[in-house]
Amino acid sequence: MRHFTKVQDIGDLHEALAKAKFVKENPFADQHLGKNKTLLMIFFNSSLRTRLSTQKAALNLGMNVIVLDINSGAWKLEIERGVVMDGDKPEHILEAIPVIGSYCDVIGVRSFARFENKEDDYNEKILNQFIKYSGKPVFSMEAATRHPLQSFADLITIEEYKKSARPKVVLTWAPHPKALPQAVPNSFAEWMNATDYEFVITHPEGYELSSEFVGDAKVIYDQKEAFRGADFIYAKNWSAFSDPHYGEVLSKDMNWMVDEDKMALTNDAYFMHCLPVRRNMIVSDAVIESPKSIVIPEAANRVVSAQTVLKEILINL
Ligand code: CP
């Protein structure tokens, strides 16, 4: 693996899960791989889990780590080619990327959808420029359309907790006060569709995800019907994908919050969320604090997914 941006990059999922299991059980077995190698993590957006878990993963592999928050302390970057740079952005991304590449061996990029131009977002304009111009392996730490390190951690977690070979996994939309990208649900759907699980997506009308990500998943608009018999409930908010409402909040319907009554319809399901989560918007206090909530082990597995991916990149340097 050179770059990691989507499920296809990880190769065979069974092999990837076996590699993740080894990493989890032997976190310091591969320190030689990262010796004298530098990971540079660039954040265009805020983070708690991705920042800490990826740094921890790199340290476990013996790497040096540099973290750059573009919005605090770095020059403001111009993204568009051909503009007269007479505004407030003194540096062009076309110089910044190869300069950054010259300081490291591997680059992690966090760059959310900006909701200014759907085509730019869905063409991964920023992430792909790092792949094209840095000369270094690049992995996504959540881009405009996908969050593969999160989805890989989600899959590892489901494998650890599942009680049947083919669990029913339900991705449910839930309300949120702000417009959020589709990256987490897109990516979760992409990874779940790569398994043989029974996978269902439920959301209000108007919140249809791109068909590229929905794939063969069953879409059920009645949330309670979708929850029946579920083994895992994966809650997430996202904004509208379809034109002309791309990036808009169409509903804040609190009837879509995950609460104990809805969880009672499931097959004693585990509750999952990528975090951070808005309590009593997305999920009630009672559900997230219940013994069936696995949001903390799910977040802990972010170290495992990041370390498994970084290890593969280092092996192929
Ligand atoms: N789930 C996740 O990516 O968390 P952060 O945004 O805190 O990194």
Pocket mutation for ligand 1, best pick of 41, 42, 50, 305 (most atoms within 8 Å of C-beta): 50
Where does CATH 3.40.50.1370 sit in the chain? 7-146+302-315, 150-299
pLDDT tens string 234-260: 999 999 999 999 999 999 999 999 999
Going from the Cα of 274 to the center of ligand 1, the distance in angstroms, rounded, reads 7
172 neighbors 226 (Cβ within 8 angstroms): yes
**Homologous superfamily (CATH) for 7-146+302-315:** Aspartate/ornithine carbamoyltransferase (3.40.50.1370)
149 neighbors 141 (Cβ within 8 angstroms): yes
Going from the Cα of 275 to the center of ligand 1, the distance in angstroms, rounded, reads 6
Going from the Cα of 211 to the center of ligand 1, the distance in angstroms, rounded, reads 25
Pocket mutation for ligand 1, best pick of 302, 304, 305 (most atoms within 8 Å of C-beta): 302
Q: Which ligand 1 atom lies nearest to the CA of residue 51?
A: 8
Per-residue confidence (pLDDT) for residue 160, from 0 to 100: 98
pLDDT tens string 257-292: 999 999 999 999 999 999 999 999 999 999 999 999
Per-residue confidence (pLDDT) for residue 73, from 0 to 100: 86
Per-residue confidence (pLDDT) for residue 250, from 0 to 100: 97
Q: What is the C-alpha to C-alpha distance for residues 174 and 172, in angstroms, rounded to an integer?
A: 6
Low-confidence ranges of the chain (pLDDT < 70): none
Half-sphere exposure in the Cβ direction for 56 (13 Å, CA):
17
Going from the Cα of 51 to the center of ligand 1, the distance in angstroms, rounded, reads 8
Per-residue confidence (pLDDT) for residue 101, from 0 to 100: 98
Q: What is the C-alpha to C-alpha distance for residues 126 and 303, in angstroms, rounded to an integer?
A: 24
Going from the Cα of 299 to the center of ligand 1, the distance in angstroms, rounded, reads 9
Pocket of ligand 1 (CB under 6 A): 47-50, 142, 150, 274-276
Q: Which ligand 1 atom lies nearest to the CA of residue 46?
A: 6
Which residue's C-alpha comes closest to atom 3 of ligand 1? 50
Pick the CATH number of 150-299 from 3.40.50.2300, 1.20.140.10, 3.40.50.1370, 3.40.50.10860: 3.40.50.1370
Q: What is the C-alpha to C-alpha distance for residues 224 and 136, in angstroms, rounded to an integer?
A: 47
Phi, then psi, of 234 in degrees rounded to 5: -110, 105
Going from the Cα of 276 to the center of ligand 1, the distance in angstroms, rounded, reads 7
Per-residue confidence (pLDDT) for residue 62, from 0 to 100: 98
